[in-house]
Amino acid sequence: MNDMTGKTVLVTGGTGGIGRATALGLSRLGARVGITGRDDARTRTAAEEIARASGNPVDAFPADMSSQAEVRRLAAAVLDAYPRLEVLVNNVGGFWATRRLTADGLEHTFAVNHLAGFLLTNLLLDRLKASAPARVVTVSSGAQRMGVIDFDDLQGERNWSGQRAYNQSKLANVEFTYELARRLQGTGVTANTLHPGVVRTSFAAEDSSTVWKVMIPLMRPVMKSPEKGAATSIHLASSPEVEGVSGRYFVNRKPSESSTASRDAADAARLWRVSEALVGLAPRNDAPGA
């Protein structure tokens, strides 16, 4: 068991599925855990239930991660609540079959699965650096292997597919992690990403495609439990084995090789610049070579 006593952790999307199992696992290791959730009542209820199950206090930070104003409000609340932050787990994400826009006018899948974590991480980065050694853990998916970052149509305006948008966002998670790791060299903050496996969650339940409506019931008997799906996130957040390890992609708690596309450093740097513009962040001076 990895002792997390005295450590503070934020898990986004912590009200159900992998995120909730991650929050519970880290709380049981002794960490002070905060969770985010879209619905205020559900987030507070989940925090209370995790606290009872773990025996440690859990904080609720309700926030709709599709909204950049909400992400900024969330970051301010976290900074106000936590003088130190040793671990950020970017877990929130999902699949939506229908193209929709956020309050910011951005395509919803890209906004939630990539831009929300990108913005939140950048807003919390100075606190993470001040708390070093610290870790950023981002939940991607094996779908990153099928992803293509289409810089000419990031928002899917000309060529839309729910699956294509999901694959692109999961590839973006990996490229973001690799670029973040390059920028964090020498700071004491590591950045890693992972594929949790195929897990029994509410994946695609809100807006499912025909394919997923057929496939999920067939796959359910062989899917991992949320607890098993959370194992790699918990490992990367807590294990001494990965102390100092950064810029890696993990599967089943072991380093693995992500797609060829994900390892294109020029694409990752371009994605970072485009993401900064989309969320209204001024370029940081921690780019490699800056």
Give the domain CATH number at 271. 3.40.50.720
Domain span at residue 262 reads 8-278
Which one of 82, 166, 178, 249 is the catalytic residue? 166
Which of 77-81, 160-164, 198-202 is most confident? 77-81
* 103 within 8 A of 55, measured Cβ to Cβ: no
Kindly indicate the confidence band of residue 208, based on its pLDDT and cuts at 50, 70 and 90: low
pLDDT (average), residues 40-52: 98
d(C-alpha 178, C-alpha 264), whole Å: 9
**166 has catalytic annotation:** yes
Residue 286 lies in a domain: no
Using the predicted structure, report yes or no on whether residue 193 has a pLDDT greater than 50.
yes
| Confidence at residue 1, expressed as pLDDT on a 0 to 100 scale | 63
Residue 40 lies in a domain: yes
Size of the chain, expressed as the number of residues it contains? 290
Question: Is the model's pTM score more than 0.85?
Answer: yes
Using the predicted structure, report yes or no on whether residue 129 has a pLDDT greater than 90.
yes
| Confidence at residue 200, expressed as pLDDT on a 0 to 100 scale | 53
| Confidence at residue 2, expressed as pLDDT on a 0 to 100 scale | 85
* Residue 185 CB coordination number (10 Å): 12
Residue 224 lies in a domain: yes
* 140 within 8 A of 174, measured Cβ to Cβ: yes
Residue 290 lies in a domain: no
Residue 124 lies in a domain: yes
